[in-house]
Amino acid sequence: MSETESIDSADIRFLLAIRQFGTLAAAARALGLTPSAVSQRLQQLEQRLDTRLVDRSARKLQFSEEGALLCERGVELVAQFDALQEELRMQRRGLVGTLKINAPFGFGRRYLAPVVADFQSENPEVAVTLTLSEQPLTGGAERYDVIVHIGEMRASNLIGHLIAPNARFACASPALIERFGEPQTPEDLARMPCIVLHENETDASLWQFSKGKTRLSVRVPSKLGSNDGDTVRRWACEGRGVILRSEWDVADDLRRGTLRRLLPAWKTPYADVIALTHNRAGLPRRTRDFMQFLQSRFRPLPPWRA
């Protein structure tokens, strides 16, 4: 590549901002520039590279093959460059910079918030933001350094790190079991009221069970549901129905006896707690240290199994 065709990390960050915000006007607001300045800078970059990077004629910006490749590879290069700069700063000042974390509401409030606060206390030069959302993986993953996810993972270019094992249990209150009887097989759930949790765009009323080589899919009857796990759990404790919930959420109720586990001989799909990061090789030191800190708080046993 000749000198006139060269680009630097600022050019890549500029393109990534356009991709993230979707329009030149939105990117201009985020960068603190005028739309005309953004358009002019994009034209100059394309002239230097002698190639079209973004198609502006469509209603929505479309990156060319070259523009998409530059963004895809550029993310890794920028991350490695930032990591190098941070390592240099670390030599003088210790752990510094910003750390952005995304996690589900219930798990984030109960288990992750204390870990994040303790990590920041031990590393006062790191500014940490914890964002809680219903679906952490729905859009905007590039805005976060760490995304905590529970359950199965779809295909993704993110790197998964196991944080803690987590099973799912079918549970009900003692009062509900006394009223309807204890189910002996998953099919028996069809005669009991069930409460469903709407999350991760899954089929909430289709529950999966296995025992040995036997696999069963049961469509449970449900007139009550929510997208909030804490609400679903409280309804179950009140005797309103059977739930299928993560072990981390119902462990305390099982110990207290406000809920009882049903069908213990049958397994349901595991929903391990994992943390997702970007390119493993280019992780900043603060992100690597936080991952180690996070994993140490859930080992050798997570709090719901302690």
pLDDT tens readout for residues 161-182: 999 999 999 999 999 999 999 9
End-to-end Cα, the chain, rounded Å: 58
pTM surpassing 0.85? no
Q: Residue 143: give its domain's CATH number.
A: 3.40.190.10
- How far CA 125 is from CA of 90, 93, 121, 287, in Å, comes to 11, 9, 9, 13
219-234 pLDDT tens trace = 999 999 999 999 999 9
Per-residue confidence band for 78, with pLDDT thresholds at 50, 70 and 90: confident
The answer to whether residues 115 and 240 belong to one domain is: no
In total, how many domains does the chain have?
3
Task: Print burial letters for 272-300: b (CB count within 10 Å at least 16), e (below 16).
Answer: bbbbbbbeeebbbbbbebbbeebeebbee
Give residue 129's domain range. 94-166+272-297
Do 172 and 256 sit in the same domain of this protein? Answer: yes
Give yes or no: residues 160 and 287 share one domain.
yes
Residue 230, domain member (yes or no): yes
Largest CA distance in the chain: 80
pLDDT range class, residue 137, cuts 50, 70, 90: low
Residue 212 lies in a domain: yes
Question: Could you tell me if 144 and 218 lie in one domain?
Answer: no
Q: Can you give the pLDDT at residue 256?
A: 97
Res 183: pLDDT: 97
Do residues 258 and 190 both lie within one domain? Answer: yes
Indicate whether 227 and 211 sit together in one domain. Answer: yes
Same structural domain, 65 and 109: no
Residue 68 backbone zone (phi > 0: left; psi -120 to 50: alpha; other: beta): alpha
78 and 116 belong to one structural domain: no
Residue 265 predicted with pLDDT over 70: yes
Q: Same structural domain for residues 133 and 80?
A: no
Domain end, chosen from 50, 85, 120, is at: 85
β partners of residue 104: 133
Last residue of a domain, one of 57, 85, 113: 85
pLDDT at residue 94, as a whole number: 61
Q: Does residue 305 lie in a domain region?
A: no
| Pair 192, 173: CB distance under 8 Å | no
Tell me the residue type at 280. R
pLDDT class of 5 with cuts at 50, 70, 90 = low
Q: Are residues 236 and 255 in the same domain?
A: yes
> Is residue 197 classed exposed, middle or buried when 0-12, 13-18 and 19+ CB atoms within 10 A define those classes?
buried
Distance between CA atoms of 248 and 273, rounded to whole angstroms?
10
